Amino acid sequence: MTLKQRLAEPRLLLAPGVYDALSALLAARAGFEALYLSGASIAYTRLARPDIGLTTFSEVADVLARITERVALPVIVDADTGFGNALNVQRTVRGFERAGAAMIQLEDQGFPKRCGHLEGKTVVPVAEMCGKLRAALDARSSAQTLILARTDALAVEGIDAALERAERYLACGVDALFIEALRTPEQMDAACARFAQRVPLLANMVEGGRTPVQPAEELQRRGFRIAIFPGGTVRALAQALQDYYASLHAHGSTAPWRERMLDFDGLNALIGTPEMLAQGRRYGGETNG
């Protein structure tokens, strides 16, 4: 089933955030139907830096290609502002489509962009963003590659302006909408009342962010069709690694963590080492090492 077919169903699509092939594999094994490649999480894990526009087209495309080579699930990929003007957007869409993106998210922030739940954002003029969205739609080679338009205008211009921007972006022909950092249940309901019957609407759940974090069932009841928990993966990872390294430093051993870790064989089973060694034997390749 393609992502486009899946979004035609009324039930909400829950997509966890991933940041590399291993996190994508683990999410797929957990039973999710789609993944969200978070630009913020790439900045957090590859650069150990905040989500303030430091990542590049090539870095995201590289991560995306490694994920889609390893797992078969559709990937919604965060393309930030498209990494430039309308021509950059076209290069981004073509490159991400070749790398296996099922949906490409583009936002209307000015540069330097930043996490949608940080202060100090700016937005480009509506006409400029509409041009970028039309460029994105023209650049894709398949209508199965979906374009998701995100507006960050609420924090800059208010809820009414954000809804009007979303209306203009929908008129461009995009496949889904994302109104970032809705601050109250009432604002969430206002967005759904206007758009939920016309186009898939995405809810962004950020622990400690501006939008009230709600479970998937509640988001579906409100009218959202997609829910992402983009950075929760890295926040969980950071807490786990802080605790792991503190324990190793204190005890000089991983023994206190043994029940919370995979052992050597367990990790190899997860990533498919026995199967790859067997495949190597079939082709006469090396199996040692």
Stretch 85-107: mean pLDDT: 98
Model confidence band, residue 58 (pLDDT cutoffs 50, 70, 90): very high
pLDDT of amino acid 284: 83
Q: Are 206 and 182 in contact (CB under 8 A)?
A: no
pLDDT of amino acid 209: 83
Model confidence band, residue 210 (pLDDT cutoffs 50, 70, 90): confident
Res 288 pLDDT > 90? no
Res 45 pLDDT > 90? yes
Q: Which two tokens stand for residue 236?
A: 């969980």
Stretch 158-163: mean pLDDT: 97
pLDDT of amino acid 10: 92
Res 289 pLDDT > 60? no
Stretch 64-74: mean pLDDT: 98
Distance CA 112, CA 54 (A): 8
pLDDT in tens, 125-146: 999 999 999 999 999 999 999 9
pLDDT in tens, 11-33: 999 999 999 999 999 999 999 99
The percentage of the chain sitting over the pLDDT mark of 90, rounded to a whole number, equals 90
pLDDT of amino acid 205: 94
Res 110 pLDDT > 60? yes
pLDDT of amino acid 157: 94
pLDDT of amino acid 115: 78
Tokens 């502002």 belong to 81
pLDDT of amino acid 117: 79
Q: Which residue has the higher pLDDT, 210 or 192?
A: 192
Stretch 43-67: mean pLDDT: 95
Output b/e per residue, 174-205; b: 16+ Cβ within 10 A: bbbbbbbbbeeeebbebbbebbbeebbbbbbb
Res 285 pLDDT > 70? no
Helices (H), 53-112: 57-70, 86-98
Nearest to 210 by CA among 233, 194, 187: 187
Q: Per-residue DSSP letters for 184-238?
A: SHHHHHHHHHHHTTTS-EEEE--TTSSSPP--HHHHHHHT-SEEEETTHHHHHHH
Q: Are 188 and 211 in contact (CB under 8 A)?
A: yes
Domains of the chain with bracketed CATH: 3-232 (3.20.20.60), 238-283 (no CATH)
pLDDT of amino acid 47: 95
Q: Which two tokens stand for residue 225?
A: 């069709």
Whole-model pTM? 0.95
